[in-house]
Amino acid sequence: MPIFEYSCSSCGHHFEKLQKAGTEPETKCPACGSAEVRKEISTFSGGSAAASPSSASCFSGG
């Protein structure tokens, strides 16, 4: 079965879950429990367009 990757928008935790048939893609962050998670697109099967540029972190020095 396909595995979908998720990234928490609250704490930034990265995790993956198995997408079962007949189940909703809704998931929660196992780290903080927030529902603000974003489904990431993993490199599955060929046909990928231009690669996305690496985004630098926007953390301000402290």
In 1-59, where does DSSP find H-type helix? Answer: none
In the chain the first and final C-alpha atoms are separated, in Å, by: 43
The residue behind tokens 């893609």 is 25
Q: Which helix (H) or strand (E) holds 6?
A: strand 3-8
Selected binder of Zn ion within 32, 40, 42, 48 (CB under 5 A): 32
Selected binder of Zn ion within 31, 35, 40, 44 (CB under 5 A): 31
Contact between 11 and Zn ion (CB under 5 A)?
yes
Contact between 35 and Zn ion (CB under 5 A)?
no
Q: Residues in the site for Zn ion, rule: CB under 5 A? A: 8, 10-11, 13, 29, 31-32, 34
